[in-house]
């Protein structure tokens, strides 16, 4: 049997392949290239100070409800706190040894003068009304914070109550409550704003000492222009007292 003769030409080529394989095996491994970074996958991290920053409060408005007026002093039922804040606001200092009741009178007079100017009311008339209504008092007792009250009783039945410095009637002015019972400044402002409104409708002299403010002042007490004999009698007593008090302050 004749055997085929092997060719020796391929031997060198196989030796080269073996050398290449050995070189690759001994070379350090190269990590595969990372895919390009996609900006759509980026996380935007905030600084810690930003993470804990509180969002500004958004005011809530309820339909049918008007926003409450901002209060400039603490209205917490405590006379001392209100008087101290109002004294600072209206430039009234409490003197050494001065009682809270004395200080209350000074603060009230300062507020009445200021609000009278705001509403275009002569100071002496505004002071005369406040003096006649309450004697420049908001509280019956500043220690217990009991608000000064004037009870209107007819045939043994309580019909209404007047409150505070300007003796605001809870039946005639229900929308002013309960704030006028607790807020000294508001009590005065409400009373004098009411007087200013009456002035736009009612004026004229009754010969009682306040000129053409006679009827205006009478209407503060009555709620209307005095025309009947009974109303004129009440007006004469009321305006006469206010004129007397106005001359004393």
Mind spelling out the 3-state secondary structure of the chain?
A: CCCCCCCCCCHHHHHHHHHHHHHHHHCCCCCCCCCCCCHHHCCCCCCHHHHCCCCCCCCCCCCCCCCCCCCCCCCCCCHHHHHHHHHHHCCCCCCCCCCHHHHHHHHHHHHHHHHHHHHCCCHHHHHHHHHHHHCCCCEEECCCCEECEEEEEECCEEEEEEECCCCEECCCCHHHCCHHHHCHHHHHHHHHHHHHHHHCCCCCCCCCCCHHHHHHHHHHHHCCCCCCHHHHHHHHHHHHHHHHHHHHC
pLDDT tens by residue, 108-164: 999 999 999 999 999 999 999 999 999 999 999 999 899 999 999 999 999 999 999
Predicted TM-score of the model (pTM)? 0.71
Q: Give the list of residues 6+ apart from residue 50 with CB closer than 8 angstroms, or none.
A: none
The whole-number pLDDT of residue 14 equals 46
**Domain edges within the chain:** 74-195, 201-249
The whole-number pLDDT of residue 19 equals 54
Task: Identify the segments of the chain with pLDDT beneath 50.
Answer: 1-14, 17, 20-21, 32, 34-71
The whole-number pLDDT of residue 36 equals 46
């Amino acid at each position: 049997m004749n055997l085929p003769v092997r060719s020796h030409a391929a031997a060198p080529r196989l030796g080269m392949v073996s050398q290449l394989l050995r070189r690759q095996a001994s070379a350090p491994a190269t990590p595969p290239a990372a895919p390009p970074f996609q900006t759509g996958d980026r996380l935007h991290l905030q600084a810690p100070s930003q993470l804990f920053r509180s969002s500004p409060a958004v005011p809530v408005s309820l339909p049918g409800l008007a926003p409450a007026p901002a209060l400039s002093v603490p209205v917490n039922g405590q006379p001392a706190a209100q008087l101290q804040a109002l004294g600072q606001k209206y430039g009234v200092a409490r003197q050494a040894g001065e009682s809270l009741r004395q200080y209350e009178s000074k603060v009230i007079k300062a507020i009445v003068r200021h609000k009278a100017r705001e509403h275009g009311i002569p100071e002496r008339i505004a002071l005369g009304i406040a003096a006649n209504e309450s004697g420049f008092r908001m509280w019956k007792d500043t220690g217990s914070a009991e608000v000064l009250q004037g009870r209107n009783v007819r045939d043994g039945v309580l019909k209404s109550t007047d409150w505070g410095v300007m003796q605001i009637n809870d039946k005639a002015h229900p929308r002013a409550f309960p704030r006028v019972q607790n807020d000294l400044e508001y009590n005065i402002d409400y009373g004098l704003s009411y007087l200013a409104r009456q002035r736009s409708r009612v004026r004229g002299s009754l010969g009682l000492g306040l000129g053409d403010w006679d009827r205006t002042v009478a209407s503060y007490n009555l709620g209307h222009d005095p025309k009947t004999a009974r109303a004129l009698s009440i007006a004469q007593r009321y305006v006469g007292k206010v004129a007397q008090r106005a001359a004393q302050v």
